Structure 1
Amino acid sequence: MNPALHAARLGLARGWIEFKHSLLNPQDLGFTIFSSVALVVVLYFQRDATVPGTTISLASVTLPSMLGMLAAFNGLIGAVGLISVEREDGTLLRAKALPQGMIGYLVGRIVLLAAQAAGSLVIVLVPGLFLVPELTRGGPGGWVIMIGILALALLATLPLGAVIGSLANSPTTAAGFSMLTIGGLIAISGIFYPFSALAGWLQVVGQVFPLYWLGLGMRSAFLPDSAAALEIGGSWRPVETVLVLLAWTAAGLLLAPPILRRMARREAGSLMQERRDRAMQRIS
């Protein structure tokens, strides 16, 4: 069997096993449930409100945007956290020592993060559709668009998360930088309120990054065509959405492999021990 293919198969199995283990980890499971329930609570309080100047439910606009945000959050923050922690604890060094170990490692991380993202989305989507039942009227086409946009969300954010996680000096630095970044992007991407209500220059900045386009694509999957009047230009802009997300995907896939290879080549037991010592100092 081809060594790379064998390593990828092992990575698939490892990622699925680690996902099942994460379901038994109270800390991981508790954070996922708490954050997902918090988003459902937001929908609950928005269910009777409408977008100003329209009869469209505010919750029906927010729920699709939330799903796009969750996919990006799990892809970016999840990859940052895993790569930075496993770089510090020696997991990456052990993967590097195995034949085709980095391939298996990366495949495993992708499977784990994709499965965790799917779990978070289901926890929000199922009760969300009970609170906003009108979103179930989109038909099969809407669900196909949703799956496509969510796949692009992971493709556009996972590689960038891996880059940030491999460049950071410590998990704390990586987590702080990524949380600050994605928090700022959520604020200017029209996730919890109409994007058109933002200042013009914020709209320009927001459209540079994938989070706005993920929200737009998800809204186009669930909302009726009449709701496009709330968007810039009165259109869902499907071509622009796909092109921007593909551009971010291409950028991430071009940057991530050489950066990860360089980081893996520089890994050594002495460097790992230094990071462990710094981690112990932070704890003590």
Structure 2
Amino acid sequence: MNPVLHAARLGLSRGWIEFKQQLTSVSDLAFTVISTAAFILVLYLQRDATVPGTNVSLAAATLPGVLALMIAVGSLLGAIGALSVEREDGTLLRAKALPQGMVGYLVGRVVSLSVSTVASIFLIAVAGVVLVPAVREIPPGGWLVVALVTVLGILFSLPLGAIIGALSPNPQSGTGIAMLTIGAVTSISGIFYPISALAGWMQGLAQAFPVYWLGLAMRSGMLPDAAAAAELGGSWRTTLTFTVLVAWTVVALLLAPPVLRRMARRESGSAMEQRRVRAMQRIT
């Protein structure tokens, strides 16, 4: 068997095992349950409200943003956090020492994070169908758009998170900086609202990041056509939206492997020990 394919197959198996281990980890499971329950609670509290000036359900308008946020933030931070931890505990160093070990490691990490993200999204979507009558009216084509957007979102978010984590010289500070950056980008990207009310320069800045297009694509699949009137240009800009998302996906997938290989080449026992010593000095 081809060594790369064999490593990828082992990575698939490892990713599934890691996901099942998350289901038995109290801390991992608690975080997922609490965050998912919080979003479901928001939908429940908004179930009888409407967007001011319209007859659009407020819960139905919130749901696309919730799903887009979980994809972007969950996948990005999940990849950054996992890479940071595993650079510190020697997992990457051990993977590097094995034949095609990095291939198996990356495949495993992508599988475990993807399955976790999809599971959370599925639970929230089901809750939306149960709690919000307007969500039950979404046609099959709309759910197909949601599924496609979810796949694209994961495909560009995970590699971007891996790139950010790999470029960070300090794994601990990298996670914190990434959280602040993602929070700033998300706040102007109109995840929960159209950005047409923002200043012109902020609209341009928001459109430079994929988070805006992810939210727009989710809204196009889950909201009625009349809701597009609030968007830029008064339409969903479907062709442009998916072109941008595909472009980000292609760029992220092309850049991630060489960046990760470069990071792996620089990993060594001495480098890991130096980071440990610096961390201990900060504590003391």
AA aligned to 1:36 is: T
Q: Structure 2 regions of 5+ residues with no counterpart?
A: none
Compute the TM-score of the two structures, normalised by the length of structure 2: 0.94
Corresponding residue of 1:202: 202
Structure 1 residue 283, shift from structure 2 partner:
5.5
Percent of paired sites with the same residue: 60
Structure 1 segments (4+ residues) deviating >6 Å: none
Q: Can you list the C-alpha shifts for 1:199-251, whole angstroms capped at 9, x where unaligned?
A: 33222211111111111111111112122112111211111111111221122
Q: Can you list the C-alpha shifts for 1:102-139, whole angstroms capped at 9, x where unaligned?
A: 11010001001101101221232222222222112222
Aligned length: 284
AA aligned to 2:163 is: V
Contact 1:93–1:267 (Cα < 8 Å) also in 2: yes
Compute the TM-score of the two structures, normalised by the length of structure 1: 0.94
Structure 1 residue 80, shift from structure 2 partner:
0.5
AA aligned to 1:41 is: L
AA aligned to 2:12 is: L
Looking at structure 2, the residues matched to 88 and 225 of structure 1 have their Cα atoms a distance apart, in angstroms, of: 49
C-alpha RMSD of the superposition: 1.6
Corresponding residue of 2:52: 52
CA distance 1:24–1:283, change in 2 (3 Å)? farther
CA distance 1:257–1:71, change in 2 (3 Å)? same
Contact 2:128–2:135 (Cα < 8 Å) also in 1: no
Looking at structure 2, the residues matched to 116 and 175 of structure 1 have their Cα atoms a distance apart, in angstroms, of: 19
Looking at structure 2, the residues matched to 279 and 250 of structure 1 have their Cα atoms a distance apart, in angstroms, of: 36
Looking at structure 2, the residues matched to 52 and 229 of structure 1 have their Cα atoms a distance apart, in angstroms, of: 14
Structure 1 residue 281, shift from structure 2 partner:
4.5
Corresponding residue of 1:175: 175
Looking at structure 1, the residues matched to 98 and 135 of structure 2 have their Cα atoms a distance apart, in angstroms, of: 48
Corresponding residue of 2:9: 9
CA distance 1:45–1:204, change in 2 (3 Å)? farther
Corresponding residue of 2:37: 37
Structure 1 residue 280, shift from structure 2 partner:
4.1
Looking at structure 2, the residues matched to 126 and 105 of structure 1 have their Cα atoms a distance apart, in angstroms, of: 32
Contact 1:196–1:203 (Cα < 8 Å) also in 2: yes
CA distance 1:279–1:120, change in 2 (3 Å)? farther
AA aligned to 2:217 is: G
Structure 1 residue 194, shift from structure 2 partner:
3.3
CA distance 1:281–1:121, change in 2 (3 Å)? farther
AA aligned to 1:166 is: A
Corresponding residue of 1:133: 133
Q: Can you list the C-alpha shifts for 1:151-208, whole angstroms capped at 9, x where unaligned?
A: 1001111111001111223332122111111211221122233332323322221111
Looking at structure 1, the residues matched to 104 and 14 of structure 2 have their Cα atoms a distance apart, in angstroms, of: 8
Looking at structure 2, the residues matched to 281 and 82 of structure 1 have their Cα atoms a distance apart, in angstroms, of: 23
Q: Structure 1 regions of 5+ residues with no counterpart?
A: none
Q: Does residue 267 of the first structure (1) align with residue 267 of the second (2)? A: yes
Contact 1:88–1:170 (Cα < 8 Å) also in 2: no
Q: Secondary structure of 1:180's partner?
A: helix
Corresponding residue of 2:226: 226
Corresponding residue of 2:255: 255
Structure 1 residue 43, shift from structure 2 partner:
2.2
Mean Cα displacement is larger for which, 80-89 or 48-57?
48-57
Looking at structure 1, the residues matched to 33 and 281 of structure 2 have their Cα atoms a distance apart, in angstroms, of: 31
